[in-house]
Amino acid sequence: MLPVPNPVRLLILGIGLALSRVGLLNRERAVRTVDLAWPRIVTGIARMSKNAVDVAMVGIASGTVAITGVGFAGPYWGLAFALGGGIAGGTIALVSQRFGADAIDELGLAVRSSVLLTVIVTLPVTAVFWLYPTALISLLSNNTEAIQLGATYLRIVGLGVPFAGLNLIGSRVLVGTDDAYTAMILRASGAVVNIGLNAVLIFGLNLGVKGAALGTVLSNVVVTSAFIIGLSQGSLPGVGEFPVTIDPFGEFLDFSTLVDLITIGVPVMGRGLVWTVAEFPMLAILDSFGPNVVAAFVIVRRIWGLMNTPGWGFGLASSSLVGQALGKDDEETAESYGREVIRFAVATYVVSAVLVALFARPIVLGFVKNASDPAVPIAVNLVYVACFAVILQGVSGGAAGPLDASGDTAWTFGSQFVGMFLCSIPLTYIGSVTSLGITGLYLAFVAETTIPATLNYYRFRTGTWKIVSRGYRPEAVADD
């Protein structure tokens, strides 16, 4: 299937070409980065829009307390993406390097091992969510109605955890083999299906939070099925050819491959868990501010997710392109890609932040029943702070791409941990117990991106990641 003109691609390409004219990017590398990044950004926009629409539909149908309940369940659902994303981080590192070295057999083994590991890791999570949803939500709040709604959502949505993890694996396989476009088609289509299902289930069948959870599960099953068929057959009707064909009946258990996936993936998983786990104490602290602050935080987090979508594209494009260059032992080109993607990402985040800041209030109003809702002014101010903080996410995510591609993932985990648990959460807590008040939450948003940006960029500049990558390249596997 040939790519079609897309406004997101045109906007990103325009930014890249403008930067190339002033000597900040190499034109050829900029175009190749755009070709890999824009489909992933569109996927991110679709998925984050789905998340935002979920919250908006629930809020309109059931009120602010329902937003709070779904918000309390959100971090638990995020475990699916932290666990699956960690394994997928190992997948893209191994797949991109093997694709660059034309080691297709080893590539297939990496994919099958990733699938097996994802299923083993996520099934226990599904079981816990099904059996103990009320106890889990009760850890975050004593609001009876919010607990009931959150538990209902969590029990059902937990069934989709393994499928969400497998979707990440399929996406990273395609991106690592230079086909972000097909990954976009599948995952963005899944988001559209999810929105349609939610509209029917929430409003048509009046299922409320149950409908939102069911829509999420069913759409993830559909996308997982598409990835399985496409990768095992080498093509998918209506989508076209896949860049690689994976034998679904080949070897799954290879100790060396599993060790590499775990070694690379656990720090990536830890980084994702930092974001997810941090929301538990964050929401518990915010609960002391009252339900309006919690609802405002949940709303702004959904808006933040939309603003952060450029990082999805640039991070994965950097991981793929840097990984392929490393697979060819071309460390100079790998570093050039890494350096230029950081510049590209920051410029794009600036554009995203300015656009959202200009329309902050109308965007927030889309999540509530009426403009007089007390959560609205709190959310609008948080959006302005988020617009500033998200620019630094461009540095953090852009610098993390080369580190992930090389296998130097422990550093990016550490930087995120420091930013969230040693800075962001303490600032929020200080605000809750002192006169600093909600200003502490504003400072927490800024710290969340400033610290990882500083630490990741420092690590990238040292070049240590290139040395780390030598232990994961295809010839290193052969030597083992």
Mean pLDDT across the chain, nearest whole number?
83
Q: Please give the biggest Cα pair distance in the chain.
A: 66
The tens digit of pLDDT for each residue in 311-330 reads 878 887 887 788 888 878 88
The stretch 335-357 carries a mean pLDDT of: 90
| 477 occurs within a structural domain | no
Q: Is the pLDDT of residue 266 over 90?
A: no
Its pTM stands at 0.68
Helices 104-131 and 144-157 cross at an angle (nearest 10°) of: 140
Domain that holds residue 54: 7-472
**Quick count: other Cβ atoms within 10 Å of Cβ 16?**
26
- Note the helical H segments in 140-248: 144-157, 161-176, 180-198, 209-233
Higher pLDDT, 63 or 292: 292
**Class of residue 2 by CB neighbours under 10 A (exposed 0-12, middle 13-18, buried 19+):** exposed
Quickly list DSSP for 363-393: HHHTTSS-TT-THHHHHHHHHHHHHHHHHHH
The stretch 351-366 carries a mean pLDDT of: 90
Cα 50-31-87 angle, rounded to 5 deg:
50
Q: Is the pLDDT of residue 4 over 60?
A: no
Q: Is the pLDDT of residue 475 over 70?
A: no
How far apart, in whole angstroms, are the C-alpha atoms of residue 12 and residue 400? 20
Helix, strand, or coil here: 236?
A: strand
| 103 occurs within a structural domain | yes
The tens digit of pLDDT for each residue in 188-230 reads 788 888 888 888 888 888 888 888 889 989 999 999 999 998 8
Q: Is the dihedral of CA 178, 416, 276, 290 positive or negative?
A: negative
| 478 occurs within a structural domain | no
Q: Cα–chain-centroid distance for residue 213?
A: 19
Least confident of 57-66, 75-84, 315-324: 57-66
**Class of residue 56 by CB neighbours under 10 A (exposed 0-12, middle 13-18, buried 19+):** middle
How far apart, in whole angstroms, are the C-alpha atoms of residue 72 and residue 84? 21
Q: Is the dihedral of CA 370, 375, 378, 383 positive or negative?
A: negative
The tens digit of pLDDT for each residue in 360-382 reads 999 888 887 777 878 889 999 99
Tokens of 450: 């400033």
Q: Is the pLDDT of residue 86 over 90?
A: no
Q: How many domains does the chain have?
A: 1
Q: Is the pLDDT of residue 242 over 60?
A: yes
| 181 occurs within a structural domain | yes
| 2 occurs within a structural domain | no
- For residue 128, the one-letter residue type is V
Q: What is the pLDDT of residue 480?
A: 45
The stretch 450-460 carries a mean pLDDT of: 93
How far apart, in whole angstroms, are the C-alpha atoms of residue 393 and residue 370? 32
Percentage of residues in the chain having pLDDT higher than 70? 94
| 479 occurs within a structural domain | no
List residues bridging with 235 in a β-sheet: 241
Q: What is the pLDDT of residue 2?
A: 38
**pLDDT tier for residue 478 given thresholds of 50, 70 and 90:** very low
The stretch 50-59 carries a mean pLDDT of: 73
| 443 occurs within a structural domain | yes
**pLDDT tier for residue 72 given thresholds of 50, 70 and 90:** confident
The stretch 231-236 carries a mean pLDDT of: 85
Q: What is the pLDDT of residue 429?
A: 93
Burial 331-370 (b: 16+ CB within 10 A, else e): bebbbbbbbbbbbbbbbbbeebbeebeeebeebbeebbee
Q: What is the pLDDT of residue 127?
A: 93
**Class of residue 436 by CB neighbours under 10 A (exposed 0-12, middle 13-18, buried 19+):** middle
**pLDDT tier for residue 477 given thresholds of 50, 70 and 90:** very low
Q: Is the pLDDT of residue 383 over 90?
A: yes
The stretch 32-48 carries a mean pLDDT of: 79
In this structure, what DSSP letter does residue 5 have? -
List residues bridging with 236 in a β-sheet: 240
Q: Is the pLDDT of residue 479 over 70?
A: no
Tokens of 372: 């007089």
Percentage of residues in the chain having pLDDT higher than 90? 20
Helix, strand, or coil here: 118?
A: helix
- Note the helical H segments in 308-330: 309-327
Q: What is the pLDDT of residue 237?
A: 86
| 463 occurs within a structural domain | yes
The stretch 426-448 carries a mean pLDDT of: 91
**pLDDT tier for residue 385 given thresholds of 50, 70 and 90:** very high
Q: Is the pLDDT of residue 386 over 70?
A: yes
